Amino acid sequence: MSSDEIMLSRLTRRQCLIGASGLALGACAPKSTAPGLLRSSDVHPADYPTVKAVNWLGEQLSTATQGRLRIKTYHSGQLGREAEALDLVRLGALDITRVFVGGLTNIFDETTILCLPFYMRSKAHLRAVLDGPIGASILDRFAAMDLVGLAFYDSGARNLYTGHKAVRTPKDLVGQKIRAPNSDLFIEFLRALGANPTPLAFSAVYSALETRLIDGAENNLRSYHSSRHFEAAKYFSLTEHSFAPDVLVMSRKLWLRLGKDDQTLIQSLARQSVTVMRALWDEGEATAQQALIARGVNQITVDRSAFAAAVAPMVDRYLNQPNLRTLADQINGLAQ
């Protein structure tokens, strides 16, 4: 079985018409009938900062090319989960998508270091890493996955939240079923804290919390608010255990069909969209914080040193891998 067939096997019949050969003969994503229309995907709602940033990118692209190139964004998971959208982009059936890098750690080693718990010191530390040569070099390596890394969108600090029990120390997590992204790294992280990691798609978390299939999850404050997970999980523990970012990627198949000037323009606008996204993020995070307080969410101060100590052996093991050691030294040098 070819690598393309393996990736397509993950897609449902609803999303992809499969021919006798096992390869997609129909549309795995809405086909563009208009020349120059690029289709982008995001699981977040229309007002989410990453969606708005890509819309801004599209507006600027349309203006700069006098309408020759445009972007249509399918938000709110209209094209399926992040993993499915990423497969479509790799195959060239979709043009652009925004994904959480935590979902890439199983197949892309360099993204691991951006997600390690209690490793990045702060949002400022992460931005220094992403905005410099380190971030650029990681984006360049997406080519090996038939992708073009356009830009990193940082997405705040990730925290734990639970529905029926406040979490202040790792002991409070023992036996708790906590949703994890489909990432060996995050599964290992939760297991090191004594939790029972439960991999689920982001779209399945709300109902899983409501039905007590899971006891809690972990994510950033903005997503916790926009997904309305706070309705089923009122305890928000300020662990700030990871500053794992998002990444905006384009199909390399499409990229190679573009002229050099268009490639340069898209890359430049994508990097500029980071500033737009961050301004929206910072503003939205403050608004979400106030809204959550008004809704009676319990924001709990935790013993972060106890959490960090519990996962330290795991973090050290990753950092001592030969392919990450040099990168780790460079990142440590940017700590503030």
* CATH code of 198's domain: 3.40.190.170
pLDDT tens track for 189-245: 999 999 999 999 899 999 999 999 999 999 999 999 999 999 999 999 999 999 999
Query: Is residue 153 domain-resident?
Result: no
Tokens of 248: 């905006």
* Cα 43 versus chain centre, distance: 10
- The mean pLDDT of the chain is 90
Per the structure, the count of domains in the chain is 2
- Are 66 and 8 within one domain? yes
- What backbone phi and psi angles, to 5 degrees, belong to 110? -65, -25
Give the integer Cα–Cα distance in Å for 169 and 193.
9
Query: Is residue 310 domain-resident?
Result: yes
pLDDT tens track for 248-307: 999 999 999 999 999 999 999 999 999 999 999 999 999 999 999 999 999 999 999 999
- Are 309 and 184 within one domain? yes
- Are 91 and 11 within one domain? yes
- Are 171 and 261 within one domain? no
- Are 181 and 230 within one domain? yes
User: Which range marks the domain in which residue 80 is found?
Assistant: 3-101+246-287
Distance in Å from the first CA to the final CA of the chain: 48
Residue 150's SS3 state is strand
Q: With cut-offs at 50, 70 and 90, classify the pLDDT of residue 7.
A: very low
Examine the pLDDT at 10 and tell me if it is beyond 70: no
Give the integer Cα–Cα distance in Å for 158 and 117.
9
- Are 223 and 304 within one domain? yes
- Are 166 and 190 within one domain? yes
Query: Is residue 43 domain-resident?
Result: yes
Give the integer Cα–Cα distance in Å for 56 and 33.
22
* Closest alpha carbon to 249 in 69, 67, 91: 91
- Are 223 and 271 within one domain? no
Query: Is residue 142 domain-resident?
Result: no
Query: Is residue 336 domain-resident?
Result: no
3-state helix/strand/coil string of 227-273: CCHHHCCCEEEEEEEECCCEEEEEEHHHHCCCCHHHHHHHHHHHHHH
Query: Is residue 118 domain-resident?
Result: no
Residue 165 has a pLDDT of 93
Residue 14 has a pLDDT of 37
Query: Is residue 146 domain-resident?
Result: no
Q: With cut-offs at 50, 70 and 90, classify the pLDDT of residue 33.
A: low
Q: With cut-offs at 50, 70 and 90, classify the pLDDT of residue 134.
A: very high
Query: Is residue 110 domain-resident?
Result: no
- Are 233 and 261 within one domain? no
- Are 220 and 273 within one domain? no
Among positive and negative, which fits the CA dihedral 190, 196, 201, 205?
negative
Residue 29 has a pLDDT of 67
pLDDT tens track for 47-89: 999 999 999 999 999 999 999 999 999 999 999 999 999 999 9
- Are 237 and 324 within one domain? yes
Residues 6 or more apart whose Cβ sits within 8 Å of residue 157: 123, 220, 221, 240, 241, 242, 243
- Are 162 and 80 within one domain? no
